[in-house]
Amino acid sequence: MVIVKPKNKKNQRSRRTDPALLLRKEYPGQPVLATSLQGLPVSILTTTSTGLVSIVVGLSPTNISNFAARFLTWQEYRIVKVQVEVNLFSTTQPGLLNTWFESAAAPGAPILAQTQNALAKRFSASDVTHKHRFDYVPHDTAEQSWQATNSGVNPVGYYKLYTDNANYGAPIVASQLGIIEVKYFIQFRGFV
């Protein structure tokens, strides 16, 4: 007698959409390279008069040092996942930081109204004990499409960070609260 265990459909579905597994997907007749690359860090600096911090980071390979020259041997690339990590420096910094992702159609710098309307993640500017890590997976067909490695680069989305003194208690002296580090998970195809 043979016992057949039912398949767990929930696990099968999550495996198909997991970006780490998408990186391993094979394309017939084409070699595919899957790699992760570190972007350049972005400083989180307050201003002296209002404590304002309004940062927008375009999630694109232009933030990766020497991207085009390093990968000229591949015809196309696409970003399958972006991981953003906010590293804070001081346990005594006052204030609250607001962070969120926007689609590629919203490149503008963040403003106060967006922090009140966006699905923002909020955390203390002095919370150095936790890693503030956020993942972004491109979700529409334009963001998931293959791009020519040697052409102009369009961001797949934007990471935004906002704080100020009046609404979120940021310091009103010039100070560096921390840095933003971005890691890109990228596929290349079409080896030249």
Residue 129's CATH number: 2.60.120.20
Decide: 100 and 121 in contact? Cβ < 8 Å.
Answer: yes
**Does residue 14 form part of some domain?**
no
- Is 104 in contact with 142 (CB distance < 8 Å)? yes
For the question of whether the overall pTM of this predicted structure is more than 0.85, the answer is no
- Establish if 123 belongs to a structural domain: yes
Cβ neighbour number for residue 129 with a 10 Å cutoff: 7
154 lies in a domain?
Answer: yes
For 178, the 3-state DSSP assignment is strand
Question: What pLDDT sits at residue 187?
Answer: 92
Residue 56 is assigned to a structural domain of this protein: yes
Domain tally, the chain: 1
| Closest C-alpha to 39, from 188, 159, 181 | 181
Q: Is 126 part of any domain?
A: yes
Distance CA 145, CA 34 (A): 15
Identify the CA nearest to 67 among candidates 43, 37, 107: 37
The answer to whether position 15 is within a domain reads no
Digit-by-digit pLDDT tens for the chain (192 residues) are: 445 455 555 545 444 444 444 444 555 667 788 899 999 999 999 888 888 999 999 999 888 988 888 888 888 999 999 999 999 998 888 899 999 998 887 788 999 998 888 888 999 999 988 889 999 998 888 888 888 887 767 789 999 999 999 999 998 888 889 999 999 999 998 877
Residue 163 lies in a domain: yes
N-terminal to C-terminal alpha carbon distance within the chain: 54
Domain that holds residue 75: 36-191
